[in-house]
Structure 1
Amino acid sequence: MKIPFFPPDLFEDDRQVLLDVVREVALDPEQRFILGRRTGHFETVIRDAVGAADAVACSSGTSALTLVLRAMGVGPGDEVVVPAYGCAPLGAAPALLGATPVFADIDPATMVVDPVEVEKAVTGRTKVVMPAHVFSVMADMPTLRVIADGAGARLLEDSAVAQGGVLGGRAAGTWGDAGVYSFVQVKTFGMPGEGGMVVTGDPEIGRAVRMLRNHGQDGRTRFLHHRIGVNSRFDEVMAAFQLRRLPGLPARLERRARIGEYYTERFTGLPGVAPPPPGRDGRCFYVYSLLAEHRDALHDHLAARGIGSHVYYRSPLPRQAAFRTTGRDWPAAERACSRQLAIPIHPHLTDPQVEHIADEVCRFARS
């Protein structure tokens, strides 16, 4: 039984849908391949689904992060507090604007940024607090909201992995002044291409991002540029594709959640292996990550039995050459880098495959 970490047939069931929308967009008399009416409709649907004031589709989640920081006025001399453990854009987005990413350590059990460490990292130069949801756990957004407000800083919620997650009755992405989703292939609402979305309760942020993504144009008059912008426009084919697939998202999320719950039930109490916390509040089930004392041996054990697994971040961001930071330590992030291992959780898994994966993790831990 071969079980890849991510399935090669992610969009096989949607093959005809994709072919249909390519033809539809190509033959539309409007002849708009970017930022047309389908993109506008997609933005409206996402905005209304999460209860935001605005939603702005961008070319990627990374681009969306950078544009929101620009819309918030981040620049040289400013600091942005980010997790020490996570994906490179957390540090790169503020750095590309001339600001300084200030790295805060994570909670050792959940791997999301620790609010206590965030509060320690805040200074008079802090412009934005930017937590990120990680794997299957959302950050403690209520506490981070209080910290950001107390510091007079904006709160930017990196929800790239968390679309569909809900914490305290509020959708992921809506706890901050703005939030960001990613639609890269393997995300919970992924698509066969790059793309992202900004959601915000602040209409001014929405207007700024909408202008910045299109070379500083306001969308009404072409070649009239109100500020320096970039090309971060969204594709009409992908907008049409996502609109067609959106009705099936709840079922796919539910399947992921059920697999995650089964894993957690099987793995709780295992020696040397720690699953994510149980429950559904504040969960997103993009990736199911274990913390294993003998991570590399577990990876090899699973591989020998045809099960794909994945190590995400082998070094904390502040230890990497691009962001090298000295003068302090991030012990929880360092430990996560040596213990984290993700196992398959995608909705294409069959029940026998899920049971096989769980059986092998348990067999390894008990041996």
Structure 2
Amino acid sequence: MTPDPVRRADAPTAHHGAPDTVDFFPPGLFEEDRQALIRLVREVGLDPEQRFILGRRTAAFEDLLRTALGAADVIACSSGTSALTLILSAMGIGADDEVIVPAFGCAPLAASVIRAGAVPVFADVRPDTLTIDPDRAERLVTARTRALMPAHMFSVMADMPRFVDLAARRDLRLVEDSAVAQGGTLRGVPAGLWGEAGVYSFVQVKTCGMPGEGAVITTRDQELGHRLRMLRNHGQRPGQRFVHHAVGVNSRFDEVQAAFQTHRFPGFADRLARRAEIAAHYTERFAPLAEHGVHPPVPDADGRCFYVYAVLAEERDALAAHLAQRGVATHVYYPRPLPEHRAFAPYARAGTHWPHASAAADRHLALPVHHLLTDAQVERVAEGVVSFVRGRARA
């Protein structure tokens, strides 16, 4: 591997756990920005404006992202889940409407639809990318279907060109759950700008995460942006307090976090490049392992976002245990398909099956890919996976 552009292999790092552990969620993620964060807390707290939410710092952060993306609007809000619900509400999707979502993924995919008053319809995913299968989604379209909500999964963007075509042919709204994909592009189009609206989540482990909760909505539709700004703040239009034009919610953004995200944004490209470098190294090392039951993500560099690097392993639990014995932390994100959860099972169509989603739930294992990993740690993770396969082959 080439030298780490963010942290050299011999650079010191704080160890909050055992010194020989490769963390999956690094506790020192914001250590380099500690003094800046302390300064910003004091700056916002003592600002004569005493404006702690949706102030000029939030507006500046929105402007920064809008310019960087070439979007019509970027709307900061309280979380990715809230962002998805706001989008559906702004589109007028509600009672008796159906929204097609992936059967494999995070709870907000279904929960946001239900919170908007609509019904989630679960489509199976592709076995190679783990993203929603456009063909299976189209077979689920009915007269009640109002929207498609494809989601990017781990390090791979969904097949958005197919979904753009499907939405146009069937006269459907297109919501892009790009929460994990900030910085990703597909065919030159940034994640978040393929649909009518997309989202980026800023939970700390995301590619542009922060020490708190928050998200933004991205859109090419300025009118939709205006409505979203109103709905996120109790139905009030910007600059017009206590006049409510619609039933909105409290989904507002924190000024300290906005200032902190603006401070860290210049380093985002380097942090993302480091993740991409690590992912490329893993894929190169793991490509020969597919015939032995450990499958890396498909190697196409287009449409990659490097939030999470996940392999599919036929002996997933044994591989996780093998890596844990070597001090490498791993993570299983979604141990069962969404329609198999008690919360969402009532919305699953009787007799429907999701074989690829079930296989993904049983086999996926996420490996450390954050930008603070040294080259030595990356090689340790890679060698741990390779040694597991070698051991199985010898047995």
TM surpasses 0.5: yes
The CA distance in 2 between the partners of 1:45 and 1:123, in whole Å, is 40
Match of 2:307 in 1: 286
| 1:337 is aligned to 2:343 | no
Which of these residues, 231, 254, 259, is aligned with residue 278 of structure 2? Answer: 259
Match of 1:172 in 2: 191
Query: Residue 43 of structure 1 contacts residue 57 of structure 1 at CA under 8 Å; is this kept in 2?
Result: yes
Aligned Cα root-mean-square deviation (Å):
0.7
Match of 1:305 in 2: 326
Query: Residue 105 of structure 1 contacts residue 330 of structure 1 at CA under 8 Å; is this kept in 2?
Result: yes
SS at match of 1:250: helix
The CA distance in 1 between the partners of 2:301 and 2:49, in whole Å, is 43
SS at match of 1:342: strand
Match of 1:159 in 2: 178
| 1:93-148 CA distance string (max 9 Å, x none) | 11112211000100001111111111111112111100000100000000010001
SS at match of 1:290: strand
1:119-198 aligned within 5 A: 119-198=138-217
Deviation at 1:278, TM superposition (A): 1.1
Match of 1:54 in 2: 73
Which piece of structure 1 moves more, 317-326 or 183-192?
317-326
Deviation at 1:205, TM superposition (A): 1.2
Letter in 1 for 2:155: S
| 1:296-315 CA distance string (max 9 Å, x none) | 00000000110000111111
1:239-254 aligned within 5 A: 239-254=258-273
The CA distance in 2 between the partners of 1:311 and 1:333, in whole Å, is 14
Deviation at 1:280, TM superposition (A): 2.1
| 1:262-317 CA distance string (max 9 Å, x none) | 00000002011000011321000000000000000000000011000011111100
The CA distance in 2 between the partners of 1:213 and 1:258, in whole Å, is 37
Match of 2:219 in 1: 200
Match of 2:14 in 1: none
Match of 2:12 in 1: none
| 1:60-86 CA distance string (max 9 Å, x none) | 011000000000111001000000000
Which piece of structure 1 moves more, 315-324 or 118-127?
118-127
The CA distance in 1 between the partners of 2:237 and 2:227, in whole Å, is 9
The CA distance in 2 between the partners of 1:288 and 1:299, in whole Å, is 14
The CA distance in 2 between the partners of 1:336 and 1:198, in whole Å, is 28
Query: Residue 261 of structure 1 contacts residue 279 of structure 1 at CA under 8 Å; is this kept in 2?
Result: no
Letter in 1 for 2:39: D
Match of 1:7 in 2: 26
Deviation at 1:366, TM superposition (A): 1.9
The CA distance in 2 between the partners of 1:79 and 1:151, in whole Å, is 13
The CA distance in 1 between the partners of 2:294 and 2:285, in whole Å, is 11
TM-score, L = length of structure 1? 0.99
Letter in 2 for 1:229: G
Match of 2:380 in 1: 356
Same amino acid, percent of matched pairs: 61
| 1:164-188 CA distance string (max 9 Å, x none) | 0010001000000000110011100
Deviation at 1:229, TM superposition (A): 0.6
Query: Residue 165 of structure 1 contacts residue 283 of structure 1 at CA under 8 Å; is this kept in 2?
Result: yes
SS at match of 2:333: coil
Which of these residues, 205, 224, 229, is aligned with residue 243 of structure 2? Answer: 224
Query: Residue 216 of structure 1 contacts residue 230 of structure 1 at CA under 8 Å; is this kept in 2?
Result: yes
| 1:315 is aligned to 2:339 | no
Give unmatched runs, 5+ long, in structure 2: 1-19
Deviation at 1:23, TM superposition (A): 1.0
Give unmatched runs, 5+ long, in structure 1: none
Which piece of structure 1 moves more, 193-202 or 319-328?
319-328
Which piece of structure 1 moves more, 252-261 or 2-11?
2-11
Letter in 2 for 1:174: L
Which of these residues, 95, 115, 134, is aligned with residue 134 of structure 2? Answer: 115
Which piece of structure 1 moves more, 80-89 or 270-279?
270-279
| 1:303-348 CA distance string (max 9 Å, x none) | 0110000111111001111110232100000000110000000000
The CA distance in 1 between the partners of 2:162 and 2:331, in whole Å, is 31
Query: Residue 126 of structure 1 contacts residue 151 of structure 1 at CA under 8 Å; is this kept in 2?
Result: no
Match of 1:277 in 2: 298
Task: Provide the aligned length of Structure 1 versus Structure 2.
Answer: 367
| 1:75 is aligned to 2:99 | no
Query: Residue 34 of structure 1 contacts residue 234 of structure 1 at CA under 8 Å; is this kept in 2?
Result: yes
| 1:25-69 CA distance string (max 9 Å, x none) | 112122110000010011111111111100100000110000000
The CA distance in 2 between the partners of 1:139 and 1:338, in whole Å, is 21
SS at match of 2:311: strand
